[in-house]
Structure 1
Amino acid sequence: MTHKSYTAVINYLENHKIYVDRDEFELQLEGHPDFPSLLAFSDALHFFNIENYSYRIDNDEKDILPEDFLALVEGELAAVKNKNNQLIMNGSPTNDFFSKWENIILVIEKEEELAVTKSRLNYSYINWGILIILFLFLLGYNSSNIILQSTFALTSLIGFVFAYEAYKKTHGKGTFIPVGVCKSNYLNTDCDLVFNSKKWKIFNKIDLSEISLLFFTSQIVCFILSSLARNIEFFFTVYQYALFTFIPMACLSLYYQVFVVKKYCPVCMIIITCVCIQLLTANLIPFDAKKINPGSVFLFLIGIFGSLAVLLNLRTKNGIAQKNENSIKRNLKFRRNYLFFKNNLSIQKKLMDTDFSGAFVFGNEHADQSLTFITNPFCKHCKEFYPVFLKLVKMYSDELRINIFFDIDLNRGDEDNKTVHVNLTNIYLNSRNKAEFLEALSNWYEVQAYSENKNGWYTKYSKYFGSSEAALNLLRRHENWVTANSIHFTPDIFLNDTEYPIQYERADLEYFIPEFLSEN
């Protein structure tokens, strides 16, 4: 691998909006003992805290390739994009990629921000409250016809709310509209079918929910601007006539529901009703044509085009979100394909010592297949994986021999560390129901960082604490086994005698166990 590979990696990173110090990156590469191998590039990326994984993929598995990746092609790394079954390599379309590549790819994984799980104040209610109060305040600028103006304003808000809910529903988002209302055989309603059906060519490029949202958004904005300019008469002058243009659209929508789709949309009906009320209200409000001026027209146009700009921005964001969602789904399919997983499992590290007799054993001791978990009571990553491990123990105890080894160094001189290991081992040795050990380890993970809670743990399980000699003897076997197999981190997992690929999230293990068992 030469400068060509270096350029491909840099371009690939920049495509993901990841920027590194090129001089430092090049220095790390050239200083690597295996340069210019794939391992050198992978380690250099890890130096910059860029998670990356390499995979081996056979040609018959090419349909699970991600959207973009680095591939080893004729000894060089190439940046490849997979768009609509057309491969683009280093910026140019290629038709002979699969005859040249070496069935190895390198992909990066960007860290996403953790979702905040703490409850937060729902600011949408505050926003709506401010908006409603603002409406009531603005109505005070012209106290005449207050009931008609309030009716118009209220139907604007109701129309906007339902138009926005329709927009969310059209784009696959959750809404407050009950499912039983929007889709009911008894009521013959189906909002999704009405909004997403393309039975008419006229609706192939028209999104009714977007039109409705733009209509009510611009109406509210223009109403506020006209009120602030103290020329609300101009606003009603415009809508006194403009609302008539909605009648053909309403008739078209009703015809479409009744005769084409043959289903009704309650959301559409509410929106149509709101506009009909507004049409009636606007024509009952008297106005003074003398108050129409260029300034009012300018403000009105600002409201219209400002609302359009906001909607276009919302559409762009939704498009990006949908693309990211599709990419995530594709990557999940890519990562959870068992044939691909099996292919990568076959090239992983093998155990040198396959004697599991010294392990904490659960499940079926005589099963042909085994799952081995190497852990440490003080390991935070083990704590994260442990619920998944317990789930596997519960589900596959009849089909798997499940082994647990502690990664312990008895020569460390840390008595507290040794005491915890000894106590847990005694729980395993002295309890009649070995599941108590699994429970005790789970409870320990919960209190390991909180000294004030540890006394409760010791009190609960102290009945199993006894002589440390038998526990130490078993722990020495754990230590020897871990050392013999050159295990240096926890949690580590082995399926039979093969290490679980580090490229995969440990939680993904549960997706592969069923097929692993079925083929062995």
Structure 2
Amino acid sequence: MEHDLTQEVYRLLKQLGTHLDKRYIKERLVSHPDFPSAFCITSLLDELSISNNAIELNLDDLQSLNGPALAFVDGKSFYFIKDIALPEKSIPNFSDRWNGIVILAQKESQSFKSDELQKIEQQRTLKNTWMILLAVTLISLAIILLYNTAPKNIYLFGLSAVGAFLSWQAVLVELGKTSDFSIKICRESNSLSCKSVIQEFKPLPFNIHISDISMFFFLGIINLVIIKEGREWEDITNTIIQLLCYVSSVPLIISIYYQQFIVKKWCALCISISICLCLMILLAITFESQTKVNLNGMFLSIMCIFLLPGIIWMNLRPLIEERNDTLTKNLLLKRFKRNPDLFKMRLLNQNKEVCHSFPTDLQIGNSKAPCQVVAVISPVCGPCSEAFDILKKLKLRYTEQIGITIRFALGNQYKSKMIILKAMLSYALSKDGFMNSPKDIETMLDTWYQNTDVDKFIMKYPSAENKALISYISEVQKWIKNSSIYYTPTIIINGYRLHDPYTFDDLLEFGGLCLEIFSSEVDKDSDDQTNC
């Protein structure tokens, strides 16, 4: 059975105070070319600006360390340890199972928080807000529906709600997913294993799983409790609830037998669901019901109400499984795309472009750095604005190791683009030393892309008309045409154009590789000619 590395890394990050969505963690881990190695974990920690180190130690050396870590256990995968100095508390028989490798991580008190991490945390806050609102709404609705309801009905509703929640957790385990709750309740040991029990249950005819039956049984009971109170069909509904609870004892006995004699392990989730069923059976005995049941229209209508959640669920489950399969395939494709050898081959397997420098080139970063990026972008373009943000992050990450040249293309919407381009370049060329100040250039570009209001920009950056400017712009547009650049943004790295499947979004991923490729390259061009 495959170990859930995503959950272990999630627990480590949570212990460090970094709360990320598990889907994001899984996407970054599984799509890494070296998954499931230590390198894929340390790469993620580096992305999140969390200091880390993968090291090989002796068991005695652990006593001098403290804090959370991931330990390589059983020669298979990494497991979370809350305190590396006390590993036995997190992993039973640690000394016999540990392979000597740990990943230590520590979040600095004033560590740099990446834009990506800030974005993820904002999304998480929004998601939690919606979940809280949904929970409050459902609780309020339940209170309204069960107002003045008999206590035994409230107890039955509560047990059914707990049973439905536990059944949903069982479905997640069956689908190979985990949650904080299932991790806490499903402790792995020689006699306990939720995964072993749940995933070993063979599907029934029509691909119905035991967790599906549990799921729509509890949801069906909830439906019946809600619709029966104070209505003329209350007695017959009580009778149906009694019959259903008695019938549920059959799968209950089968489950216990299966765990005891077939799998020979116990599932904490299954035991919890069994306890809910037992309590519901005892509670159902106290219900007043009819001694004789007629298979009339009322009986059939109530049974349809009971079966409705099950019908809906059985149509939803295939969609959930299909979505999981699609996501898994997409991650495998991303793993292929993130392969550094493929990126290098795709980048260098083309003719190297050579171009002249232009007076209107806007340079940010280090113009003498071994790695030079030319970004052909438009002043009025959504993706170009995103590309500029990526370029800023790239420059921030690699400081003096990279140079970035912004070169504007006009293309369509010529008049509107020409207005802002003339205003921007006129100001840049008219101010002494401005074109040699990467910081001032970046601030000006950032001002424009943050708020693309021409009037406000001109008020902030006023300038006189430059007669040579039209000629300069025409030269750049002629070069763009001759270079067969048909779309923006177009990224050129040391003369090599970034082609599909790679885009500007991949610059942060492969920035370090680009530095490695071009670090030994010596500039052999004349002063008036540079590699793109």
Q: How does 1:5-84 map to 2 (within 5 A)?
A: none
Give the distance between the partners of 2:203 and 2:478, measured in 1 at CA: 74
User: Secondary structure, in 3 states, of the residue corresponding to 2:355?
Assistant: coil
> Which residue in the other structure is 1:237 paired with?
239
> Which residue in the other structure is 1:152 paired with?
156
Q: Which of 379, 389, 392 in structure 2 is aligned with 1:387? A: 389
User: Secondary structure, in 3 states, of the residue corresponding to 1:353?
Assistant: strand
Matched to 1:332, the amino acid is K
Q: What is the RMSD computed on CA atoms of the aligned residues?
A: 4.6
Give the distance between the partners of 1:450 and 1:181, measured in 2 at CA: 57
Give the distance between the partners of 2:143 and 2:173, measured in 1 at CA: 24
> Which residue in the other structure is 1:494 paired with?
492
Matched to 1:133, the amino acid is I
Asked if the contact 1:348–1:501 (Cα under 8 Å) also holds between the matched residues in 2, the reply is no
Asked if the contact 1:372–1:404 (Cα under 8 Å) also holds between the matched residues in 2, the reply is yes
**How far does the alpha carbon of each residue in 1:98-152 deviate from its partner, in whole angstroms, 9 at most, with x for none?**
xxxxxxxxxxxxxxxxx9x999795675456445533548x5xxxxxx2223322
Q: Which of 281, 288, 291 in structure 1 is aligned with 2:290? A: 288
Q: Which of 165, 169, 178 in structure 2 is aligned with 1:161? A: 165
Q: Post-superposition shift, 1:314? A: 1.3
Matched to 1:134, the amino acid is L
Asked if residue 434 in structure 1 is aligned to residue 438 in structure 2, the reply is: yes
Asked if the contact 1:363–1:400 (Cα under 8 Å) also holds between the matched residues in 2, the reply is yes
User: Secondary structure, in 3 states, of the residue corresponding to 2:288?
Assistant: coil
Q: Which of 336, 357, 371 in structure 1 is aligned with 2:373? A: 371
User: Secondary structure, in 3 states, of the residue corresponding to 1:214?
Assistant: helix
Q: Post-superposition shift, 1:491? A: 1.8
Q: Post-superposition shift, 1:394? A: 1.9
Give the distance between the partners of 1:472 and 1:163, measured in 2 at CA: 70
Give the distance between the partners of 1:393 and 1:261, measured in 2 at CA: 58
**How far does the alpha carbon of each residue in 1:383-407 deviate from its partner, in whole angstroms, 9 at most, with x for none?**
0211111121122344333322233
Asked if residue 506 in structure 1 is aligned to residue 504 in structure 2, the reply is: yes
Q: Which of 145, 150, 158 in structure 2 is aligned with 1:134? A: 145
**How far does the alpha carbon of each residue in 1:169-197 deviate from its partner, in whole angstroms, 9 at most, with x for none?**
5446686x6577446799x9976x46755
User: Secondary structure, in 3 states, of the residue corresponding to 1:423?
Assistant: helix
Q: How does 1:95-134 map to 2 (within 5 A)?
A: 126=137, 129-130=140-141, 133-134=144-145
Give the distance between the partners of 1:174 and 1:499, measured in 2 at CA: 42
Q: Post-superposition shift, 1:518? A: 2.9
Aligned length: 386
Asked if the contact 1:428–1:434 (Cα under 8 Å) also holds between the matched residues in 2, the reply is no
Q: Post-superposition shift, 1:286? A: 3.2
Asked if the contact 2:492–2:498 (Cα under 8 Å) also holds between the matched residues in 1, the reply is yes
Q: Post-superposition shift, 1:300? A: 4.5
Give the distance between the partners of 2:285 and 2:374, measured in 1 at CA: 78
Q: Which of 492, 512, 515 in structure 1 is aligned with 2:513? A: 515
Matched to 1:447, the amino acid is N
**How far does the alpha carbon of each residue in 1:392-449 deviate from its partner, in whole angstroms, 9 at most, with x for none?**
112234433332223369x979555411232245679438852232232122101114
Asked if the contact 1:243–1:275 (Cα under 8 Å) also holds between the matched residues in 2, the reply is yes
Q: How does 1:101-500 map to 2 (within 5 A)?
A: 126=137, 129-130=140-141, 133-136=144-147, 146-168=150-172, 170-171=174-175, 178=181, 181-182=184-185, 193=195, 197-198=199-200, 207-223=209-225, 230-240=232-242, 242-247=244-249, 249-250=251-252, 265=268, 267-268=269-270, 270-290=272-292, 292-346=294-348, 350-353=352-355, 355=357, 359-407=361-409, 414-424=418-428, 429-430=433-434, 434-449=438-453, 451=455, 454=457, 458-459=459-460, 478=476, 482=480, 485-500=483-498
Q: Post-superposition shift, 1:216? A: 0.7
Give the distance between the partners of 1:402 and 1:157, measured in 2 at CA: 58
The 3 A distance-change label for structure 1 pair 149 and 517 is same
The 3 A distance-change label for structure 1 pair 424 and 181 is farther
Asked if the contact 1:257–1:263 (Cα under 8 Å) also holds between the matched residues in 2, the reply is yes
Matched to 1:313, the amino acid is N
Structure 1 portions without partners, runs of 5+: 1-114, 140-145
Give the distance between the partners of 1:341 and 1:217, measured in 2 at CA: 50
Sequence identity (%): 21
Instruction: State the TM-score, normalizing by the size of structure 2.
Output: 0.58
**How far does the alpha carbon of each residue in 1:334-355 deviate from its partner, in whole angstroms, 9 at most, with x for none?**
4333444444435657534255
Q: Post-superposition shift, 1:276? A: 2.4
Matched to 1:325, the amino acid is L
Instruction: State the TM-score, normalizing by the size of structure 1.
Output: 0.59
Matched to 1:157, the amino acid is A
The 3 A distance-change label for structure 1 pair 347 and 412 is farther
**How far does the alpha carbon of each residue in 1:265-301 deviate from its partner, in whole angstroms, 9 at most, with x for none?**
3x54553333222111111223331464533442354
The 3 A distance-change label for structure 1 pair 165 and 376 is same
Asked if the contact 1:353–1:485 (Cα under 8 Å) also holds between the matched residues in 2, the reply is no
Give the distance between the partners of 2:307 and 2:294, measured in 1 at CA: 20
Q: Post-superposition shift, 1:494? A: 0.5
Structure 2 portions without partners, runs of 5+: 1-122, 519-532
